[in-house]
Amino acid sequence: MSAGIVFHLLATLAYAVLAISLWRPLSKGGSQVVAGKVRRVCLAGALLLHGIALAQSILLPNSLHLGWALALSAAIWLGMIVFWLENLVMRIDGLLLILLPAATVAALLAALLAALYPYGRTVAHANNDWLRVHLIIALTAYGLITVAALQAMLMTALDRQLHRPIEQEANRSILGRALDTMPPLLLQEVLLFRLIWIGFGVLTLTVITGAIVSLRLTNELFPMDHKTVFTLLSWFTFGILLAGRHIRGWRGRIALRWTLAGFAFLLLSYSGSRFVIDVILQRG
C-alpha cells in the first residue's frame, strides 16, 4: 500500500472523527456548534495529513500523477485551508458540519480509487516549470470555487429553511437544527462573494498560464478541447455573476444559481472526463 493511500486514510479518519464530534450533540437535541481551540488544532493536524497524502500521491520522481479523485481531493483540501484561515477572522464554525463530511468523502474516494483503479494520469511534460505553476494555480482555483459551491448549496438549504411554514418549526429534524447553527445568511453571502472574487482572480491566472503553457508546448493559444471550452465557460459565468453583482446588485437565489452553474462548468472541465477515463474506461 502506497504512502499516499495510507495518509489519505489517516486524513479520512481524522475528518470523520471531527465530523462525528460536531454532529453528535445535534443528534441529542443540541442547538449550537462550537469548534473550540482543540478542534481547530485537530483540524490543522487533519489538513497536514491530507497535504502529505496529496504530495505523496501527486508528486512522483520526475513526473506528476493526477486523476479525477486526486483533483477533487486537492480541491477540497485547499478549500478547507481557506475555511481554516477565514475562521480565524470570523466565527463560522457551523460550516464545518458540511465541510468535514465533504472532506471525509473526498479523502476516502482518493484512497479507494488509488487502490482499486490505479490508472490515474501521468502528466506529460511534468518537468516544464510553467506547467507546474499552471497546475498549482488551477488546483487553487478549483479548491476556492469548490468551497464557494458548497457554500452556495448550504445557503440554498438555509433559504428554504427560512421559508418553511411556522407550524413545522416545532418538529425540526437534526438537519434543521444543524442549519440553525449556521452563520446568518448575510454573513455567508459576504463570505461567498469573497470566495468568488478570489476564485475568479485565480481562475483568470489559470486561463493565462494555461494559454502560455499551450503556446509553448503546442503553438496554440487556446486549443479547442473540452477542458479549455468548459474552463472558459466557467470563467465567463463567474465574470457575468460579478458584473451583475457590481452593476445590478445581484444576490440571493440568482447569485446562488450562477455560482453553481460556474462550478458545474469547472467540474466538467476536468473531473467529468477524467472520471470516465480513469474509472469507467480504466486507462490512464
Maximum average pLDDT range among 89-98, 122-131, 176-185, 214-223: 214-223
In which band, very low, low, confident or very high, does the pLDDT at 178 lie, cut at 50, 70 and 90?
low
Spell out a b/e string for 111-150, using b for 16 or more CB atoms within 10 Å of the CB, else e: bebbeebeebbebeebeeebbbebbebbbbbbbbbbbbbb
**Residue predicted with more confidence, 10 or 278:** 10
| Torsion region of 165: left, alpha or beta (phi above 0 gives left; psi -120 to 50 gives alpha) | beta
pLDDT band at 126 (very low <50, low <70, confident <90, very high): low
pLDDT band at 282 (very low <50, low <70, confident <90, very high): very low
Cβ pair 15, 100 in contact under 8 A: yes
Locate cell 457590481: which residue? Answer: 246
Choose the weakest-confidence range: 48-52, 118-122, 256-260. Answer: 118-122
Mean pLDDT of the residues in the chain: 79
pLDDT on residue 46: 94
The pTM is what? Answer: 0.75
**Which DSSP symbol is given to 183?**
P
- The dihedral built from the CA positions of residue 18, 23, 28 and 34, taken in this order, carries a sign that is positive
Is the pLDDT at 235 greater than 50? The verdict is yes
| Range of 72-86, 107-121, 169-183 with top mean pLDDT | 72-86
Among 212, 229, 230, which residue's Cα sits nearest to residue 221?
Answer: 212
